[in-house]
Amino acid sequence: MNIAFIGGGAMGEAIAAGILKNGLARPSDIVVSDVSTARQKVVQEKYGVATTASNLEAVGRGEIVVMAVKPQTLGQVMAELAGHLRPQQSVMSIVAGASISTLSQGLRHKAVVRVMPNTPAQIGEGMSVWTATPEVSPEHREGVRAILKALGQEIYVPDEHYIDMATALSASGPGYVFLFIESLIDASVHIGLPRDMAAIMAIQTVLGSARLAQASGKHPAELRNMVTSPGGTTAEGLLQLEAGGFRALVTNAVLAAYEKAQELGGDHSH
């Protein structure tokens, strides 16, 4: 399958790397457009893919066109590409905050896939949530699914409203987790652990706990109860988290991010 990337950036590069690593396309099947010749050279040398400074040239060579431009340049890029997409092509957008209607109207094209990836996709541990218009062919839907599976896990949602919810959970979630890890490390230094030791312990504890939750299929509350002995240290620590309103804080964070996602989901074509 021929895939064209309009713009690059870390997420665009992660997608291209995932496609190549999983053998979904050959380097000769991929073209990347980038205004920066230095960036073109880096991508060409690293992945062996074709590069061009022309978005129009790239679009002409892709069955699936991946829109990986920055939100602030989207309007300008859409104006340039409008009317140049063939009906049988599908556009896959990873542009944050750009709705399907914005993309569809801006590009004058009906076959649009909107994806909300997250940063762990860069190491193949991503969570991508996506939806597609009815005009996207079953073959291209499967192509998109395969691409997203190469980045980690994927969930198809039938309604675009879920994308804003995913923005608040899976896309913003790494930020919450990093803050939690940072807090664990700082607290451990406070009680006397050397920082480098505390960092290894905190990261592996969060990673291992997440993997256990995934592998066991048990409700997190059940896993928490299993580690909480009566009158023990975990019970004491959890008491402080509950007293500080930990759950309510997390709920407020997700809710605030969701509201912001809805606010940013306006028309980005201008």
- pLDDT per residue as tens, the chain (270 positions): 899 999 878 889 899 999 999 999 999 999 999 888 888 888 889 999 999 999 999 999 999 999 999 999 999 999 999 999 999 999 999 998 899 999 999 999 999 999 999 999 999 999 999 999 999 999 999 999 999 999 999 999 999 999 999 999 999 999 999 999 999 999 999 999 999 999 999 999 999 999 999 999 999 999 999 999 999 999 999 999 999 999 999 999 999 999 999 888 754 433
Q: Are strands 50-52 and 126-132 parallel, antiparallel or unpaired?
A: unpaired
The answer to whether 97 and 260 are in contact (CB under 8 A) is no
pLDDT confidence of residue 10: 84
Region label for 225, one of left (φ > 0), alpha (ψ between -120 and 50) or beta (otherwise) = alpha
pLDDT confidence of residue 266: 58
Q: Domain map of the chain by residue range?
A: 3-160, 173-264
Helix ranges (DSSP H) in the chain = 9-21, 37-47, 55-59, 74-81, 100-107, 138-149, 161-166, 173-190, 195-216, 220-227, 233-243, 246-264
With residue 116 as reference, give the H or E element that holds it: strand 112-116
CATH of the domain spanning 173-264: 1.10.3730.10
**Six token digits for residue 263:** 């606010």
* 3-160 maps to CATH 3.30.930.10: no
